Amino acid sequence: MLKPTCWVVPPDVFNVTGLERIDYSYGYFTVLPQITESFTCPNGSQAQLSQTIADFLGENKSEYQYFARRLESPENSSIANRSCSLGLRDPDVIPASTRFQTYALGKYSQEQEEFLHFSITRCQYSWVELPTEVNFTFRHGEFVLNPGDPPRPDEFHAQPWSIPFNIPDIDNQFKASLVTQINDAVPQVVVSDSSAGFFDSWFRTLSSPFGRFSLDAFGDPNFEEEILKDIHHLYGFLAAQIVNFENRLDITQNSKDGPPPTPFNLTANIINLSRHRLVQDPIVTYVIVGILTLTALLSLLMLISDSLGTASSKSQLFSMRIEGLAPEGYNSIAAMTALLKDSNAMDHLPEGAEHMSKKELHEKLSGLRFRMGWFWRESTQTRHYTIGVLDDENFEFLGNKDEIAREDALLRHPPE
């Protein structure tokens, strides 16, 4: 990443002249403001850098003229070489691992013939290593960037690049020559508004309708930070593309600037969102199959036993015949009252049972055994179908409903 470190150039180091306008008879005027900056050369001598801020050509009816452009920076070795007469050759001054860019923005009043707003910001650019969280998705057999979750850089942990390398001289890199006809790295667009005094190609791409800023934003100090943020992005993008192209090495190619980087480990979390088939442990599978098999066998035995019991009228092992063990509507209050009417259970209730809690009553009755069926009451010499307490001499259990029914049938129809 190309990281900028910016500051505002103080007004006491430069002087602005040429703010008077020149009017023409055809309804236009021109202004050629100049800026002269004093600076200290690398050899300690003093020098001045003079350059034209803008070349305004505006209509007389336009009250204001807005401008935005890049200026030369005396900190760059190529500019210092020319201004300070250092005598260096171009190949010695163009390569640089650190570069400076100067940006001038302002608003000119033709009526007052002065800048209502004028600021110069200078930025030092250098390469930094930027940790970035990247999310991939699996498409057509390979990993690609996830468009729904773009890379997230961690600028807080950015650090200088361990092996310095040059920042491209973008302006000179794209100068037209006999070999190439390329003039600029950014699109050549035209701002047709009459209030657009002068915008170089970088800032024209930021102004509406091409960018997100209106013309008056370039004369408003409240928008400078956002404008420069877009300029940093544009410059960093261009420089990174060129560096990526010019510094890419083949597998067998050695670097010109230093040894190959040491291997390092990448921290990554792989999340597979595809659908998978559940694979079960064999032991668990055998246990489940055994339980299901046993359940199926028991169910089959119950069906066979029930069929044999129906045919022979005898109770069989695993018989599931439970019909008739309780009367119809047994869960109604009337049925329960009729079923318990002749029971001996009331004879075995402890005294004061109605005042006991459920837990206390259960403890008192814990030694009793109950059974539903036919009972013989000795005192009245009568038979009753109820739920009774066993082991009662006066209330003897005779058998369940089916057993007594078979005995009664035999008495009525004895075998011959």
- Domain positions in the chain are 2-246, 281-321, 326-416
Q: Which of 120-137 are b and which e, b meaning 16 or more Cβ less than 10 Å from the residue's Cβ? A: bbbbebbbeebeeeeeee
- Tell me the pTM: 0.59
Mean pLDDT score of the chain: 83
pLDDT of 316 higher than 70: no
pLDDT tens-place string over residues 222-264: 999 999 999 999 999 999 988 888 777 776 666 666 666 666 6
Q: Which residue has the higher pLDDT, 128 or 332?
A: 128
pLDDT at 91 (0 to 100):
58
Residues 74-89 have a mean pLDDT of 88
Q: Which two tokens stand for residue 219?
A: 């004369």
Residue listed under structure tokens 């329960």? 336
pLDDT of 126 higher than 90: yes
1-5, 215-219, 273-277: which has the minimum mean pLDDT?
273-277
Q: Which band of pLDDT confidence, cut at 50, 70 and 90, is reported for residue 100?
A: very high
pLDDT of 157 higher than 60: yes
pLDDT of 11 higher than 80: yes
pLDDT of 410 higher than 60: yes
pLDDT at 247 (0 to 100):
75
Indicate the SS3 state at residue 39: strand
Residues of the chain with pLDDT > 90, as a percent, come to 28
- Return the number of other C-beta atoms located less than 10 Å from residue 200's C-beta: 17
pLDDT of 47 higher than 90: yes
pLDDT at 122 (0 to 100):
97
Residues 313-331 have a mean pLDDT of 57
43-52, 233-242, 255-264, 352-361: which has the minimum mean pLDDT?
255-264
pLDDT at 307 (0 to 100):
72
pLDDT at 237 (0 to 100):
92
Residue type at 333 in one-letter notation: I
Q: Which band of pLDDT confidence, cut at 50, 70 and 90, is reported for residue 334?
A: confident
Q: What is the DSSP string of 341-358?
A: TT-SGGGGSPTTGGGS-H
- List the alpha helices (DSSP H) in 108-223: 170-173, 201-204
pLDDT at 293 (0 to 100):
94
CA angle 72, 78, 79 (to 5 degrees): 40
Q: Which two tokens stand for residue 314?
A: 């005898």
